Amino acid sequence: MISLSESVATSLQLAGRIALAAVFLVSAVHKAVWYRRAVVEFRQAGIPLIPITLPATIVLHTFAPVAIIAGVYVVEAALALALFTIAATVKVHNFWTMQGEQRLVISRVAMANLAVAGGLLVLAASASGKLL
């Protein structure tokens, strides 16, 4: 079994937190910059109350990842993002209702989202949050 020094483990944890956070920060920027396109996407996905849910999504995708990177409220931020990711995947990437090529493509997106949610749950369970 490989044993990591504390400094290496801390650096790897920070790198992992940054990688997980980047997914959501990029999403926040995209939704904010291309807001009208995001409204259309939310509408097509059947997401209700878009004037509330879209800004709330942008806020969550901005502040929770920053908290994760900074090492503050890591458990809360990771759990919030994990729950969001699972709910969004079930609502938007429901590949089990699709056929053919679309089912294959969307199932891959759903599985990637599941992996991100899993990483967030592991992060929440480990409660590791040192900045450096």
- Residues written for the chain: 132
The pTM of this model reads: 0.89
| Tokens coding 6 | 């504390």
What pLDDT is stored for residue 130 in this prediction? 63
Q: Which of the 8 DSSP states describes residue 21?
A: H
CA distance 81 to 57: 10
What pLDDT is stored for residue 132 in this prediction? 54
What pLDDT is stored for residue 98 in this prediction? 77
What does the pLDDT profile of the chain (132 residues) look like in tens digits?
888 888 888 888 889 999 999 999 999 999 999 999 999 999 999 999 999 999 999 999 999 999 999 999 999 999 999 999 999 999 888 888 878 898 888 889 889 999 999 999 999 998 766 665
End-to-end C-alpha distance for the chain, whole angstroms: 24
CA distance 115 to 33: 26
Cβ(31)–Cβ(57) below 8 Å:
yes
What pLDDT is stored for residue 127 in this prediction? 75
The backbone region for 10, taken as left when phi is positive above 0, alpha when psi lies in -120 to 50, beta otherwise, is alpha
What pLDDT is stored for residue 119 in this prediction? 96
Cβ(58)–Cβ(31) below 8 Å:
yes
